Amino acid sequence: MTGALVPGVFNLFASVSIILVNKQIASVCGFHFILTLLFLNFLTTGSCLEALVRAGYLEVKHLPESDRWLLALMAMCTVLLNNASNEANSVGFYQITKLLIIPTVILIERSKGIVKTYSRGIILSLAVASVGVAIATVSDVEVNVRGSVLAFFSILMTAQFQIWQGSKQHEHGVSAMQITYSVSLPQVVLGFAATLVFDVFAPGLKHFLLLRSGGLLEHEFRSRADVMWIV
């Protein structure tokens, strides 16, 4: 019980912290370059996993090349939509939309003929958690068209990504850490390419992605604190 509780609490703390930090960077620091942050995130993750591999703590098992790049692309789109939704919406609305991912996963699976049974304990836990988060954040809910569209596609993409990643993990017999390491290099390459295109050379194209306009080269940091938040 304790062994499962500690990682669960740590995961919850880390998830909430990431959401709040991303909100701080976008709303308070005024750094709206989500693709640049995405690239830095992938680069940091890949570097840490590479260190674990070289230290002998992680066994390397790669997916087939086509799956590596497709999964990396889906992961990038998923994280991009999640961060864009977080930037465009209030924390309360963003948290509530996250609750819709599990029901969406169930609906997608059933539409494909995959029927899984869930224990009463799991259903009750989800219901209690959903009601608790909804009550705690309802006073912070702000709805806008751009944020709602981003949230909708974020939910769909995240649900589909979780299903596809799980199936590939089971198909190729790899752990969560191994599949993350396998796609880390393609993620860095795709993230860097997207940053160059949308944040550096053609920032006007971000309008079609419902992202805030502006070029990275023209951005001026307000203080050293902004840089520290990003780092």
* Average pLDDT of adjacent 10-residue blocks, the chain of 231 residues: 42 54 64 84 89 90 92 92 85 77 83 74 64 58 79 92 90 89 94 93 88 78 62 55
- pLDDT for 29: 63
- pLDDT for 96: 77
Burial of 56 (0-12, 13-18, 19+ CB in 10 A): exposed
Q: Are the C-beta atoms of 63 and 182 separated by less than 8 Å?
A: yes
Contacts (Cβ under 8 Å, ≥6 apart) of 23? 86, 87, 91
- pLDDT for 8: 42
Q: Are the C-beta atoms of 183 and 71 separated by less than 8 Å?
A: yes
Q: Which of 105, 80, 106, 83 is nearest to 27 (CA)?
A: 83
- pLDDT for 4: 40
| Residue-by-residue DSSP string for 51-112 | HHHHTTSS---PPPHHHHHHHHHHHHHHHHHHHHHHHHS-HHHHHHHHTTHHHHHHHHHHHT
Question: What DSSP character marks residue 210?
Answer: T
* pLDDT tens profile 46-84: 898 899 899 988 899 999 999 999 999 999 999 899 888
